[in-house]
Amino acid sequence: MAKDLDKREQDRLSERVSRRPAVAPRVDIFENEQEFLVLADMPGVPKDALDIRVDKDELTLQGRRSDIQERAALALELRPVDYRRSFVLPGGIDVDKIDAHLEGGVLRLKLPKSESLKPRTIPVRVG
């Protein structure tokens, strides 16, 4: 019985150690007349490890930074991590035209406003 308890405790310990931490990436959000711009800091996440989804009015960003196995490491401060962050989208986003670009560890999302939200000039008729 003591062996069973030890085994269970070891399993729980290894489970805790092997789990990847989940982190909400830091973001900056900007708005202009044409679009919203979301900049998400996701260092070390390659393009093929990113998942960006829109479901109804929710935008979800997910990314995975894995171990770097290129060389024998002298120090390892960048651990594997899972990024996950969700946002409720304001009404009037043209979800079919959302654009994503990854460069230098920063994910740049352009969320264009639908034509109905963009400012427009109303012509004045005479007579």
Query: What is the Rg, in whole angstroms, of the alpha carbon atoms belonging to the chain?
Result: 22
C-alpha to C-alpha distance for 107 and 26, rounded to whole angstroms: 11
Q: Evaluate whether residue 75 is within a structural domain.
A: yes
In this prediction, residues 2-19 reach a mean pLDDT of: 53
Do the Cβ atoms of 40 and 29 come closer than 8 Å?
no
Contacts of 93 (CB under 8 A, 6+ apart): 36, 111, 112, 113, 114
Q: Evaluate whether residue 108 is within a structural domain.
A: yes
Q: Average pLDDT of the chain?
A: 84
Q: What is the pTM of this model?
A: 0.73
- CATH number for the domain spanning 68: value is 2.60.40.790
**What is the three-class DSSP state of 9?**
helix
83 is in which domain, residue-wise? Answer: 20-112
pLDDT, one tens digit per residue, over 14-72 is 444 546 778 999 999 999 989 999 999 999 999 999 999 999 889 999 999 987 666 67
Establish how many alpha carbons lie within 13 A of residue 4's alpha carbon, considering only the half-sphere containing its beta carbon: 1
